[in-house]
Structure 1
Amino acid sequence: MSEERNIIHSFGEFSTWLSTLEDLDETLWSKPISEGKWSVSEIVAHIMNWDHHLLFEVIPSVREGKGMEFPECDPFNKKASDYAKSGVSQAKLLKEVRYKRELLVKELHTVPTVMLNKPLTVNGETHCPHTGLPYSLIVITHHFIYHDQHHQKQITEFLEANTVV
């Protein structure tokens, strides 16, 4: 399997990890992971919101040979938080997140390798300020794997600290 396909496969593993949250107690699901932080439900909705953006904004833009645009984070993330607090059930949100990620992974697999690697701008910038790498769809996908892992670690640590064994 090519490096690009391995990255996409790794990105899809988040769907499998979601199953660990299916039987989570509702109190823990909606409790902030620490003072001033989001709850597990808000984090999960946040990831789904970014997946939606990648699927319906970023990939079409890349297919058209345009740069990638990402919205201002705070208002964008607030929409996810609001949705998580809207009364959507845990089961429904998990189903939606899994469906969105699987759809996104399926779509990424249809993007030709040359297009995955094509250098493009992100909000007008050509290179990632953290890695120095030129931006491309596969580089952004790789960044989102780290984003997922960051939030998975937060959730896992929260659950370990709050679960009676």
Structure 2
Amino acid sequence: MSKSKQELIDAMMAWPKQAEEWKQVPENKWHRPLGPGKWTAAEAVAHLLKWDRYFLERAVRPVAEQGPITLEHTDFDSFNKEAAVFGASTPPEQLLDDAIAVRNEILSLLGQQPDRLFQPEQAYLDGAGHRFDVEEYMTDFISHDHHHMDQIRASFAQE
């Protein structure tokens, strides 16, 4: 295991901590594109929220409850477009509250799991036989979080 369970949880906690701070950002900054051809900050938050909810419901909660993992091949483009539409039509404070709540539930469930769950040899299989590795999932999401948080921070820094 390259990082401990607690190090992974702490790193994933960066997203809800940042989201909490962004509740003070004025409404007008939420609906401008992060760059040419990019989502708005609200759409990016919805994207993070929707992926967290997907993995919570289909992998994290089932692992915590020792049930079957129900991940399935997802059309990323369609999933992300639906998240963007949701983000464009939902107030930023609600998006942030929901994103914080879902991520905190993920972290709470993972925090209750034994350390062995975070070792690569402890991978699970979904119904289609695809591997789900908790450490890999967390490492990927930490990187994904930071990518979008950096984009949003840069946008909010502009006047």
For the criterion TM > 0.5, the same-fold answer is: yes
1:84 aligns with 2:87: yes
Give 1:112-127 correspondences, 5 Å limit: 112-117=114-119, 118-120=122-124
Distance, in Å, in 1 between the alignment partners of 2:147 and 2:156 is 14
Please tell me the residue identity of whatever aligns with 2:100: R
Larger CA deviation: 107-116 vs 142-151: 107-116
1:37-71 residue CA offsets vs partner (Å, 9 max, x unmatched): 10000000100101101110012454336585452
**Which residue does 2:133 correspond to in 1?**
136
Contact 2:49 2:95 in 1 (8 A): no
**Which residue does 1:8 correspond to in 2?**
9
Q: Extract unaligned runs of 5+ from structure 2.
A: none
Q: Extract unaligned runs of 5+ from structure 1.
A: 127-134
Higher relative contact order (CA 8 A, sep 6+): 2
The percentage of aligned residue pairs carrying the same residue is 24
**Which residue does 2:56 correspond to in 1?**
55
**Which residue does 1:157 correspond to in 2?**
154
Distance, in Å, in 2 between the alignment partners of 1:68 and 1:16 is 27
**Which residue does 1:130 correspond to in 2?**
none
1:60-116 residue CA offsets vs partner (Å, 9 max, x unmatched): 454336585452211111121111122x21221111111111111111112222223
Alignment TM-score, normalising by the size of structure 1: 0.81
Alignment TM-score, normalising by the size of structure 2: 0.83
- Alignment length, in residue pairs? 152
1:25 aligns with 2:26: yes
